[in-house]
Amino acid sequence: MSHVFISYARADEAAAKMIADSLREDGFEVWRDDELPAHRPYAEVIEERVQGARAVVALWSSQAAKSQWVRAEADTARSARTLVQASLDGTVPPMPFNQIQCADLKGWDGDRSAAGWRKLAASVVELAGPETNGAPAERKSTRAVSICVLPFQNMSGDPEQEYFSDGISEDITTDLSKVSALEVISRNTAFTFKGQSVNVSQMARKLGVTHVVEGSVRKVGNQVRITAQLIDGRSGGHVWADRFDRDLTDIFTIQDEISRAIVRALKLKLLPEEKKAIEHRETQNPEAYNLYLLARQYWLTGNIGDLRREERVMRICSRAVEIDPYYARAWALLGLAQSNLRYVFRCEVDDGYAAAHAALTIDPAIAEAHLPMVRRLEDRLRYAEADAAMETALQLGPESWEVSKEGARVYMRQRRLADAAALLEKAVALMESDVHGWARLVTLYHALGDSTAKKIAAETTIAEAEKILAHDASNGAVMSFGAGAYAALGQVDRAREWAERAALVDPDNLSMRYNFACALAAYGGDYDGALRQLERSLASAGVFHITMAEADPDLDGLRQDPRFVAMIGRAKKRLGMEGKSPATSPARP
């Protein structure tokens, strides 16, 4: 049978040894850190063993929960989907591991009939048990030939070039997805394996694909070297491999050659329109392309709630479309950044309509380009048209993170809370680090009465917020998400601590104050405090924020308060919104 790694705190060594011995008796190859070789660095061996294991058994206890080693090993296994958990003393696994099932081995004395042991052993067998010929894949493929393009490695020696290798991987994935005879695993699924040393055959079996593409990118100045190989998912053998050393100006030709070579190696026949689609590039200018990839990386990995993300994207995309005025994707991303700056951060910049219109003039199929249109129409109180534009975006981009997020906001405005939650669930599945999406799910689950889902969303919000704040301790918006999540969990002192900290580092962030008001009203019952926060936030708010306040379920407890009614009335009069009811427009089609 296959390799099992045991992760534990030093204080739990006796229990770890008993569990390891029991698994060995069942025929598993088990490794724990008492077998470290004397000639190799500790961390290097641990990383190698964790990544190579088919099952990682994390043994939680009060001591293990404090161990950075156990947390790191468990996090690696969680990302690789090889994590099995057991509690030795009743300790609940720390976030985010408390979202995964955990066997109870408190007081376990080696009895194999104990429920906790049976649960742990069953999970280990499922992950690392013996392979059988003809065993079905964990995911059923819809076509005879299927493929996963793993993120190409950045070999440039500069982490800042990561955006380029990621962009190459995404573009090859997009090219191959245009082949009707080929099923292609989505970019988001493939990128869960980024930075991991994977067993290709095991991964192919897990994803249910017949083939895997691996590669690397080295970009130095105007020179680029790309290696790519197509691997048989069953045997692990190479079907095709090649290396391309070219000028950066040939980047599009290289991508075309790689995609065509993979199709040939798979013995697939391209239809004429598919060949044309693969060869079509939205820009022929490598400098504009490079800038777009850089902007896209900032957009995907930058801090949500930090306007510097939008400002960087706006500047970079503006330069890209200056170089190539017909680059639709760059126009669309520029429009998104401008729209956020105008409507979310209340900056006096273009609202993104012109950039979005330019994108749609060039390519009407870009779903994300409809989103700035939605916001402008809402701002002009043309709700029916805004909702129609949103439905168009959802039809064009059902797997788009941006479209799912914006669709959820529009559905919240319409008080279609279950529909909004479904779209946000898709959004955070596409972008797990979306702390804002998780925070909104807390609101929706609370309104829908789903306490279990609310708890998970709140804990995930805090975990993702902590990751962001570890690199940027001044992000007040993210602190407000965390404060709201703590309030939702009933941890009032922690919520107050985060709120006070946020008010100190970012006192003028009005969106942050709105989030505080929501937390005070929904979870603290402090309506006076909520109204104080809202008074400052809504005094200068535009249509975007007023419509959200009218529909936000977190503020439902304030609806009948004369002070809240007057506050909304003053804002609507200032904005010419009297008589408009965006929360009820339109009915679900």
57-71, 88-102, 322-336, 490-504: the lowest-pLDDT one: 88-102
320 in any annotated domain? no
Q: Quick one: 150 and 115 in the same domain?
A: no
pLDDT one-digit tens code per residue, 489-514: 999 899 999 999 998 988 888 888 99
Q: Quick one: 465 and 438 in the same domain?
A: yes
So what's the pLDDT on residue 161? Answer: 87
pLDDT one-digit tens code per residue, 118-168: 888 888 887 877 644 444 335 566 678 999 999 999 998 788 788 999 999
480 in any annotated domain? yes
CATH of the domain at 457: 1.25.40
Between 89 and 112, the more confident residue is 89
pLDDT at 581 over 70: no
457 in any annotated domain? yes
177 in any annotated domain? yes
105 in any annotated domain? yes
343 in any annotated domain? no
Q: Are 243 and 235 in contact (CB under 8 A)?
A: no
Q: Quick one: 571 and 504 in the same domain?
A: yes
pLDDT band at 1 (very low <50, low <70, confident <90, very high): very low
pLDDT band at 305 (very low <50, low <70, confident <90, very high): confident
Q: How far apart are CA 217 and CA 161, in angstroms?
A: 9
Q: Quick one: 151 and 114 in the same domain?
A: no
For the entire predicted model, the pTM comes to 0.71
DSSP letter, residue 241: E
379 in any annotated domain? no
Q: Among 97, 128, 159, identify where a domain stops.
A: 128
Q: Quick one: 186 and 253 in the same domain?
A: yes
Q: Is 309 left (phi over 0), alpha (psi -120 to 50) or beta?
A: alpha
373 in any annotated domain? no
Note down the domain range covering 268.
Answer: 145-281
| Long-range contacts (CB closer than 8 Å, 24 or more residues apart) made by 513-516 | 513/480, 513/537, 514/538, 514/545, 514/549, 515/439, 515/477, 515/480, 515/481, 515/483, 515/484, 516/480, 516/483, 516/484
Q: Quick one: 122 and 151 in the same domain?
A: no
Q: Quick one: 391 and 461 in the same domain?
A: yes
Q: Quick one: 122 and 162 in the same domain?
A: no
Q: Quick one: 67 and 216 in the same domain?
A: no
pLDDT one-digit tens code per residue, 467-495: 888 888 888 889 999 999 999 999 989 99
Q: Among 246, 281, 316, identify where a domain stops.
A: 281
Q: How far apart are CA 334 and CA 292, in angstroms?
A: 10
Q: Quick one: 429 and 488 in the same domain?
A: yes
**C-alpha distance from residue 435 to each of 293, 438, 441 (Å):** 23, 5, 10
Q: Quick one: 165 and 245 in the same domain?
A: yes
Q: How far apart are CA 56 and CA 2, in angstroms?
A: 11
Tally the C-alpha atoms within 13 A of residue 135's C-alpha that lie toward its C-beta: 13
CATH of the domain at 226: 3.40.50.10610
Tally the C-alpha atoms within 13 A of residue 457's C-alpha that lie toward its C-beta: 26
So what's the pLDDT on residue 101? Answer: 78
Q: Are 285 and 324 in contact (CB under 8 A)?
A: yes
CATH of the domain at 59: 3.40.50.10140
pLDDT band at 41 (very low <50, low <70, confident <90, very high): low
User: What's the chain's average pLDDT?
Assistant: 88
Q: Are 128 and 28 in contact (CB under 8 A)?
A: yes
Q: Among 101, 128, 155, identify where a domain stops.
A: 128
Q: Quick one: 37 and 98 in the same domain?
A: yes
CA 377, 381, 383, 385 dihedral sign is negative
Number of structural domains the chain divides into: 3
